[in-house]
Amino acid sequence: MKKLLLLLVASLTFLSCKTSVKERWDYFPDKVALSEYNHLEFIKVKNGKTVVVQLEENPSTGYSWKTETQQECTVKLTDAGHKQNEAPEGIVGVGGIRTYEVKGENNGVCLVEFRNIPPGSNEPAEKKAIYFIVE
């Protein structure tokens, strides 16, 4: 009985130390949804490669995503546009996905802040910052 209890405790300890795929140091995603990342997490990018970052957005509400990067940033950020979700004919105001392309340009780290700005304001209603590590 004592051995079984010891084995159970050891198994639970091992399982609790398991890391997720996105936390591994050898994980270089091609595409990420910002909703799956917490504030100030990191995304690894290979130098010369591009990662697509997608954000949920509904421009009909007046809210829009803006980005801000550090000076001397190691990535190039490009707004690739907004694609509306499918909707029944005649329906307007449907949300969609805003896409940014993040290309690793120089080895190093760059902090990119994504800000969801409400209409008539300069202060974000929501913001998330992601560290891009370029290797």
Compare 35 and 25 and report the one with higher pLDDT: 35
Give tens-digit pLDDT for 98-125: 999 999 999 999 999 999 999 999 999 9
Residue 75 has pLDDT above 90, yes or no: yes
pLDDT tens readout for residues 37-73: 888 889 999 999 999 999 999 989 999 999 999 889 9
Give the pLDDT confidence of 3-22 residue by residue, as tens digits: 444 344 444 444 444 444 45
Beta carbons within 10 angstroms of residue 29's beta carbon: 13
CATH code for the domain defined by 29-85+93-134: 2.60.40.2020
pTM of the model: 0.77
Please give the pLDDT value at position 24: 60
Residue 125 is predicted with a pLDDT of: 94
